[in-house]
Amino acid sequence: MAWEFETDPEFQSELDWIEQFLADEVAPLDHVVRSGYDIADPVRQKLIPPLQAKVRERGLWACHLGPDLGGKGYGQVKLALMNEMLGQTRHGPIVFGCQAPDSGNAEILAHFGTPEQKDRYLRPLLDNEIVSCFSMTEPQGGADPKVFNTRAVLDGDEWVIDGEKWFSSNAKYASFLIVMAVTDPDNPPYQRMSMFLVPTDTPGVEIIRNVGLGYQPAGEGSHAYVRYTGVRVPVDAMLGPRGGAFVVAQTRLGGGRIHHAMRTVGQVRKAFEAMCERAVSRATQGEMLGRKQLMQQMIADSWIDIETFRLLVMQTAWKIDKYKDYKRVRKDISAVKALMPRVFHDVASRALQMHGSLGVSHEMPFASMVIESFHMGLADGPTEVHKVTLARLILSETTPTSGMFPTTHLPALAAAARERFAEALELGLHDEV
């Protein structure tokens, strides 16, 4: 028997250290550092690097990476336990060197980068000396990459990139952008595009505007609408094989999706704790909110949602460690990805509702959590697309019935059983059950 739900004591002591460190040192930063990605901000530079040094000293820096890249090579189960803590603070991931999208970008650089590309981009990225941006989605459509039309055309020993990208997160802070562009329009749809490493200060890279999410004040957006006009990069700026952009993109998405889910467990737990505290602290019409059955239902439903979601995340993490093959867990990852926004949305909404007017205000985090739940249902593929993937994979493993009626058709099952047990049935008085 190998079913286990316990953490070994050695790793538990690391988790205990992380929990305390986050509460004492990292959580307060959420109120004073505007963006952990803005390495030009002197306040950020004064406060975050010393904490990163403590994390390195403890040996917990960039734990998603293998030892060859300076990480611990922790499997996904350990990462899940860590990430659900880091997700409770805005700056936890950057203090521990595992923030999106840099973690995924580092993964593809490690996987596909040439020695020169790794030296120029990967090393400083892993050390958080710089940050990066993944520039893939286009204004005319993100869920269907087949409609992308940003072009890269070879001109001598340079590629010339023209086009527009939408929601390129952190472009304004990034030293380089990873840009997906059509290089081979006559190839089959999934072999038309290639990936390029483009330094942000290359002439022709222009941020049209930085788009913010619904809860952010105007001017604080960090999801860039980017225009590339005649952007020239050398031939060796291509990341991965020509026509191989889909393969490169997929390499970063498997890990990226499950890590988002791990951090989301942390965020929903935070909302849930607030909800419970409110239920036992606020009274109306002579009794605590927690005494009212409709409020109790919110608590019970939220607990069930969170525990169900967490178990699915942990089981998926366990499968990734076991099979070491993201293709084999595509179904599980799509299921996690589809469940994540619903659980986040429902729990955050209940927490908001239970806090009344205070809950809906900007003095509590719930309104931003509700919007963030939509972020989780869009970035790295919309929920609908993941549900379609999940259903298709399930159905591809399902055998059609050979007869007219389903294999669960009761009369046929009963007839087969009666035939098999005919001798025994002769002893009884009844013909049919």
Ligand X SMILES: Cc1cc2nc3c(=O)[nH]c(=O)nc-3n(C[C@H](O)[C@H](O)[C@H](O)COP(=O)(O)OP(=O)(O)OC[C@H]3O[C@@H](n4cnc5c(N)ncnc54)[C@H](O)[C@@H]3O)c2cc1C
- Binding positions for ligand X, rule: CB under 6 A: 101, 134-137, 141-143, 167-169, 223, 375, 378-379, 381-382, 384-385, 388
CB of 166 to ligand X, least distance (A): 7
Nearer to ligand X, 112 or 167 (CB): 167
CB of 149 to ligand X, least distance (A): 14
Nearer to ligand X, 137 or 302 (CB): 137
Phi, psi of 219 (to 5 degrees): 95, -10
Q: Report the Cα–Cα distance between both ends of the chain, in Å, rounded.
A: 38
CB of 201 to ligand X, least distance (A): 19
Nearer to ligand X, 243 or 382 (CB): 382
CB of 364 to ligand X, least distance (A): 21
Residue 151, burial from CB neighbour count under 10 angstroms (0-12, 13-18, 19+): middle
Tokens of 221: 């957006």
Nearer to ligand X, 81 or 133 (CB): 133
> Phi-psi category of 97—alpha, beta or left, where left has phi over 0 and alpha has psi -120 to 50?
left
Nearer to ligand X, 78 or 223 (CB): 223
CB of 276 to ligand X, least distance (A): 28
Residue sitting closest to ligand X (CB): 142
Nearer to ligand X, 91 or 337 (CB): 337
Nearer to ligand X, 128 or 210 (CB): 210
β-partners of residue 152 are 161
Q: Where are the alpha helices (DSSP H) in 87-132?
A: 92-95, 102-112, 115-117, 123-126
CB of 383 to ligand X, least distance (A): 7
Crossing angle between the packed helical segments 9-21 and 76-86, to the nearest 10 degrees:
20
Nearer to ligand X, 134 or 196 (CB): 134
Residue type, 160: V
Q: What count of other Cβ atoms lies within 10 Å of the Cβ of residue 391?
A: 12
Query: Cβ neighbours of residue 80 under 8 Å, at least 6 residues apart?
Result: 258, 262, 265, 313, 314, 317
CB of 289 to ligand X, least distance (A): 32
- Under DSSP, the state recorded for 328 is G
Phi, psi of 167 (to 5 degrees): 60, 45
Residue among 165, 172, 169 at smallest CA distance from 145: 165
Cα separations (Å) of 370 from 30, 93, 349?
18, 20, 6
Query: Measured in whole angstroms, how far is the alpha carbon of residue 287 from the centre of its chain?
Result: 40
CB of 145 to ligand X, least distance (A): 8
